[in-house]
Amino acid sequence: MANLDLSNQRILVTGGAGFLGQQVISQLCDRGADPAKITVPRSADCDLRVLENCHQAVKNQDVIVHLAAHVGGIGLNQLKPAELFYDNLMMGTQLIHAAYQAGVGKFVCVGTICAYPKFTPVPFKEEDIWNGYPEETNAPYGVAKKALLVQLQSYRQQYGFNGIYLLPVNLYGPADNFKPESSHVIPALIRKVHEAQIAGDKQIPVWGDGSPSREFIYVDDAARGIAIATTSYDGADPVNLGTNYEITIKDLITLICKLMDYQGEIVWQTDKPNGQPRRCLDTQKAQEYFGFTAQVDIERGLQNTIDWYRTHGE
């Protein structure tokens, strides 16, 4: 399959000012995209939940990379399930439809690992995505994003619309969201340890019992995978982006404490939810379809993230 020459493509990157988006733009430019031809709509003046704004955003664009999402950790998913369902569904479905109507050449949709069923065999294979309902705490978000896969596949079938769907595992890295009310597990734990060190606290509370496992992908790796797929993948199948490395929350917090030189005690809050029991992706398709493998291991990625937070705070 011939690679898409990005040098003459007008590219819209929704969420392009965000944590992942900035890295995706950098990776697209590394692959020949012209920065002057990349557009980043800002939510303040382009609310993609409004159809007319979607039509305006996609006008005269050749490639859409849809990263924009209303997203957070377990806490936010429990607090605002309706908002997470509505916002993500409306942004995505209207943008896809507007892009199809405008004759956009390629649509790259970034989905979520939350779309997988609660008890998916590990490692998660793309074929298993419909074999059950997602884990309850993040199901509204996961179902909304999974609906976009159905939309892209049906638009491909009926209209020949070239839309691809990628499933990155949990992201982390420098410039992540460290806000307590909406952060994911790695930035939340780094912040907890940092604040405990400053306060001189001898113990830190951590949600759940430490038994669930997770897989994490460093933001630069995820962005590189998205950029490679933008140039080199045109298939209907959803594709996982991950590292194929699984770590329990207990081992994760132990590693973070070691890297941050914190000797305090971990107090497990077993009245708080664990979330999905295990998460680890089968990453063979990304390798097979467009030659992507992750490069940054968890220890190096965590150290980079810790160093950034200690320097920049939020």
Supply the residues annotated as catalytic: 141
On whether 75 is known to bind a ligand per the annotation, the reply is no
What is each CA distance from 207 to 20, 58, 80, 253, in whole angstroms?
Answer: 25, 41, 19, 11
Q: Which of 263, 9, 231, 237 is nearest to 129 (CA)?
A: 237
On whether 20 is known to bind a ligand per the annotation, the reply is yes
On whether 57 is known to bind a ligand per the annotation, the reply is no
On whether 92 is known to bind a ligand per the annotation, the reply is no
On whether 21 is known to bind a ligand per the annotation, the reply is yes
On whether 192 is known to bind a ligand per the annotation, the reply is yes
**128, 121 contact by CB (below 8 A):** yes
Backbone angles phi, psi at 65, to 5 degrees: -115, 110
On whether 146 is known to bind a ligand per the annotation, the reply is no
- From CA 13, how far away is CA 252, in angstroms rounded? 32
On whether 168 is known to bind a ligand per the annotation, the reply is yes
On whether 18 is known to bind a ligand per the annotation, the reply is yes
Cis amide leading into 168 (omega within 30): no
Q: Is 62 left (phi over 0), alpha (psi -120 to 50) or beta?
A: alpha
The residues near 258 (Cβ < 8 Å, ≥ 6 apart) are: none
On whether 193 is known to bind a ligand per the annotation, the reply is no
Binding residues: 15-21, 145, 168-171, 184, 192, 207, 214
Binding residues for substrate: 192, 207, 214
Binding residues for NADP(+): 15-21, 145, 168-171, 184
